[in-house]
Amino acid sequence: MTQQAKNADFVDWFRQSSPYIHAHRGRTFVLCFGGEAIAADAFPNLVHDIALLHGLGIRLILVHGARPQIEERLALRGAQMQLAEDGLRVTDDAALACVKDAAGAVRVELEALLSMGLANSPMAGARIRVASGNFVTARPLGVIDGVDYRHTGEVRRVDTTGLTQRLDAGAIALVPPLGYSPTGEVFNLAAADVATAVAEAIGADKLIFLSEHKVSGGRGKLPGSMIPSEVDRLLARRKSLPDELCRILRNAAAGCRAGIGRVHLVDRHTDGVLLGELFTRDGAGTLVTAEPYEHTRDAKIDDVGGILELIAPLEAAGVLVPRPREVLETEIDRFTVVERDGTVIGCAALYPFEKEATGELACVAVHPDYRNGGRGDALLAHMESRAKAGGLTSLFVLTTRTAHWFRERGFATASPDVLPGRRRDMYNWRRGAKVFVKPL
Ligand SMILES: CC(C)(COP(=O)(O)OP(=O)(O)OC[C@H]1O[C@@H](n2cnc3c(N)ncnc32)[C@H](O)[C@@H]1OP(=O)(O)O)[C@@H](O)C(=O)NCCC(=O)NCCS
């Protein structure tokens, strides 16, 4: 690849990620990872990405586990934790000593890595403050089905004021898998439960689980997006899912139901997975949202019915030029649709004129129930990148009633004479549509 091509690639990538940089600034994300991630050789890379997110103005709360570190300490004492239902563990006195010891050591390790100058990296010289503390109040899990869980606990309360103060002061907050009781006891908690409770209490914009297991992409894996009822069905159906993943999924569904907008599950083994998930349109893992997921994609032949239904009223009102079903079927490859929960709620078409390196944007429509939500903008952005990928250097549109919408998005009035010859011949002077052109 030539230097020029590399630069063009970089510029393209940077432009595509910049809307996310803008959208994430000032938002609060809770990030949960296990002790396995901390023990891994690649952990400094993850810390580096965390530092980068912090540098981009994201308010971060890190919740960590310490399972392997606890087990290591137990093994040294020749002890082990009793495993009960659902992957839950009984924390006896010996285990609690190991839990405290491991949590302390992990905290020091994390603080050290986040304090590193991260030389030879874009974060060189960054000064990151880490604040940890007694943010979580816990109570004992108690006795369930005859099993006394001893020092294993559950979250009772989160000190949101304390956390918010640390975040407001520009620090990254660090929350261990421990909770304290008003009676001065310490309880061993599951990191995923702590992360969800913290995210709910603080009203986080995102809760992100870095899973030990592969999450999406490929056979037998989770779909790219799910809603809580789909998570419930999956948990009921797939009994063979690892305990850790079940706990994360249960938390994801519960968190969404409790009002966390977006819960992400990503595979922590993939280098750069956080950046891929947060700064690219399609993400890198599984997204659990309370709202049915919506996405913009190339149209398929099965979408013809949905598109016809969407544009029929606009054709009847003279806003769009009528397109019979047969035409739509042959031209379906030219269309992009916005699908929401299986229904087409938006569409647009691109007719390229390769010789003139331009393309016509047509049939731009968003269902009236879903207007003013930025979908028109998203469709336009999608069509522009589709046009650029096809080597086009401009887009034009013919419109009778939507002139201002296009003008506000960088299109400028032009005479019908600028249209490619073939299109000019087809221009319907009676309709009197105005021509607008946007250079790409
Ligand atoms: C144009 C259209 C696709 C925009 O979809 P959308 O999802 O509502 O778009 P966005 O949310 O990105 O933009 C909404 C903004 O566009 C404005 N807008 C919508 N229709 C407009 C029009 N005809 N002229 C000028 N501005 C318009 C809205 O007022 C809103 O701006 P505001 O928030 O400043 O008030 C949609 O209104 C539509 O389907 N219209 C009918 C079909 C049509 O005219 N297509 C173009 C034919 S070529």
* Residue of 181 and 243 predicted with greater confidence: 181
- Tokens 């519960």 correspond to 254
Residue of 127, 178, 129, 121 lying closest to 152 (CA atoms) = 178
Residue-wise pLDDT tens digits, 306-344: 999 999 999 999 889 999 999 999 999 999 999 986 789
**Mean pLDDT for the stretch of residues 101-118:** 87
- Closest residue by Cα to atom 39, ligand 1, is 365
Between CA 190 and CA 250 the distance in angstroms is 13
Distance from Cα 402 to the centre of ligand 1, integer Å: 7
**Mean pLDDT for the stretch of residues 177-202:** 95
- Closest residue by Cα to atom 27, ligand 1, is 405
Decide: 374 in ligand 1 pocket, CB within 6 A. yes
**Mean pLDDT for the stretch of residues 170-192:** 95
Query: Which amino acid is located at 424 in the chain?
Result: R
What is the arrangement of strands in the sheet containing 294-298, beginning at the earlier edge strand?
294-298, 335-340, 343-353, 358-366, 394-399, 434-439, 412-414
Angle of the 93-115 helix axis to the 43-55 helix axis, nearest 10: 60
Burial of residue 17 (number of CB atoms within 10 Å: 0-12, 13-18, 19+):
middle
Question: Best substitution site from 307, 371, 436 to test ligand 1's pocket, by max atoms within 8 Å of Cβ?
Answer: 371
- In this structure, what token pair is assigned to residue 392? 């086009």
- Could you tell me where in the chain the CATH 3.40.630.30 domains are found? 295-439
| Lowest mean per-residue pLDDT among 22-26, 82-86, 256-260 | 82-86
pTM above 0.75, yes or no: no
The CATH class that applies to domain 22-292 reads: alpha beta
| Lowest mean per-residue pLDDT among 121-125, 244-248, 415-419 | 121-125
Decide: 366 in ligand 1 pocket, CB within 6 A. yes
What sign for the dihedral angle of Cα 33, 37, 42, 48? Answer: positive
Residue of 361, 233, 355, 277 lying closest to 58 (CA atoms) = 277
- Closest residue by Cα to atom 32, ligand 1, is 372
Distance from Cα 392 to the centre of ligand 1, integer Å: 24
Closest ligand 1 atom to residue 365 Cα is 39
Decide: 397 in ligand 1 pocket, CB within 6 A. yes
| Residues 104, 165, 287: CA angle, nearest 5 degrees | 75
- Could you tell me where in the chain the CATH 3.40.1160.10 domains are found? 22-292
- Closest residue by Cα to atom 23, ligand 1, is 402
- pLDDT given for residue 219 in this prediction: 45
Q: What is the CATH number of domain 295-439?
A: 3.40.630.30
Question: Best substitution site from 307, 315, 400, 402 to test ligand 1's pocket, by max atoms within 8 Å of Cβ?
Answer: 402
Residue 282 has pLDDT above 90, yes or no: no
